[in-house]
Amino acid sequence: MKIDILNILFSFIFFSILGWMLEVTYRSLRDRQLISPGLLKGPYLPLYGTGALLLMVAGDLLSGSNVLTKVFVYFVLTTGLELASGFVAHHFFATSLWDYSDQRFNFRGHICLQFSIYWILLAFTFEYLILPPFQALLIFLPVAVKVILVVVVLVTMFSDFLAVSMCHLLRLTTTEETLVKTQFIAMAKPILDLPEVASLAQYDHHRGKTRLDHVIEVARLSFLWSRHFDLDSKATIRGALLHDLFYYDWLREGPRLHGFRHHNIALKNARKITHLSKKEEDIIKKHMWPLTVVPPRYMESLIVSLVDTFCSTRDYLNIKRHTKQGQRTLENE
């Protein structure tokens, strides 16, 4: 099979969805009730998509190898991936996606011998029964269909992951909520008081939101992330509030190729109304990355770009908001 970026991404989403269907079927039959597995809310399990890509590479490298060699490699890949996934879910998201504690020969509930054997059998099933027809499907499907599916599913998956990450990683106590709200208001007020920024309330931006609504939401969520990673919160808020500083209805007017040009327009307008640091300029200029091609120079710029993508996707796809109480307090202020 010819390996290229489009086929790799399509394979990842295809087997992420197929793996989710397998897990739903197995767990629902086992527990006699419908169960949706995984950390994310959508019908996909990135663990299976990643595992499929690893097995595809291993299959090519092990072509002609004996069965015992394949058994060992498949054991290392599948069980190693399961162990790493269980560790990340437990230590970074404080959740257990599965628990093998009641199984013999288990390691901290993340892996066990019984399921390691199952994964090896599934790996051989994948190699000999699933992969050949899938390769034929890759050749049969038009490029345009694969591109559309890849873009839609990956954007949805990314937004889903970011929402879940916000819920789990940005938890706030009641005291922290009050402090965060006060800090945000103090740093945002000088920019929000500028008439050029306040006038953004006159422009519709996304479904049911004005441009001012949008930049405030991006600034608030970006501030939470910058605070979590101990970054420059002031620059993050200022850059986020100014990242869409343009004065036209982008759906009906304005320059052609708006998505590729409005960041420069916003930067030019922002320079007219306030002094900008290099970091704030980079946040505004790179908020549409990767459309801007040149990647963000600062971590704060990357955060605003990711949050902006998440907020925009959530607005149009109506992805359920996985907000915690602290975020709701900020957004409903």
Mean pLDDT of the chain: 85
Judged against a pLDDT cut of 60, whether residue 324 lies above it is answered with no
pLDDT at residue 172, rounded to an integer: 64
pLDDT at residue 52, rounded to an integer: 94
Span 225-251, mean pLDDT?
90
Report d(CA 100, CA 112) in Å as an integer: 6
Span 234-250, mean pLDDT?
91
pLDDT at residue 15, rounded to an integer: 95
Contact 310, 159 (CB under 8 A): yes
Q: How confident is the model at residue 294 (pLDDT cuts 50, 70, 90)?
A: confident
Q: How confident is the model at residue 48 (pLDDT cuts 50, 70, 90)?
A: very high
Report d(CA 174, CA 191) in Å as an integer: 27
pLDDT at residue 170, rounded to an integer: 66
Options 3.20.20.60, 2.40.30.10, 3.40.1350.10, 1.10.3210.10; CATH of 172-331: 1.10.3210.10
Tokens representing 78 are: 């599948």
Using CB atoms within 10 Å of the CB of residue 150, give its burial: 0 to 12 exposed, 13 to 18 middle, 19+ buried: buried
Span 170-181, mean pLDDT?
74
What is the signed CA dihedral for 262, 268, 270, 271, rounded to 10 degrees? 160
Whether a cis peptide bond, with omega within 30° of 0, leads into 290 is: yes
pLDDT at residue 187, rounded to an integer: 94
Judged against a pLDDT cut of 90, whether residue 68 lies above it is answered with yes
Judged against a pLDDT cut of 60, whether residue 126 lies above it is answered with yes
Judged against a pLDDT cut of 50, whether residue 60 lies above it is answered with yes
pLDDT at residue 326, rounded to an integer: 38
The b/e string for 289-306 (b: 16+ C-beta within 10 A; e otherwise) is: beebeeebebebbbbbbb
Please give the full DSSP string across 1-67, using - where no structure is assigned: ----HHHHHHHHHHHHHHHHHHHHHHHHHHHTS----SSSSSS--HHHHHHHHHHHHHHHHTTT--H
pLDDT at residue 300, rounded to an integer: 95
Expressed in percent and rounded to 5, the helix, strand and coil fractions of the chain are 70, 5, 30
Task: Let me know the angle formed at the C-alpha of 22 by 86 and 103, rounded to the nearest 5 degrees.
Answer: 45
pLDDT at residue 318, rounded to an integer: 57
Question: Domain locations in the chain?
Answer: 5-151, 172-331
pLDDT at residue 130, rounded to an integer: 94
Report d(CA 146, CA 163) in Å as an integer: 25
Tell me which amino acid residue 276 is.
L
Residue-wise pLDDT tens digits, 23-44:
999 888 888 888 878 778 889 9
Across-strand partners of 210?
204
Place of tokens 């980079």: 282
Across-strand partners of 111?
107
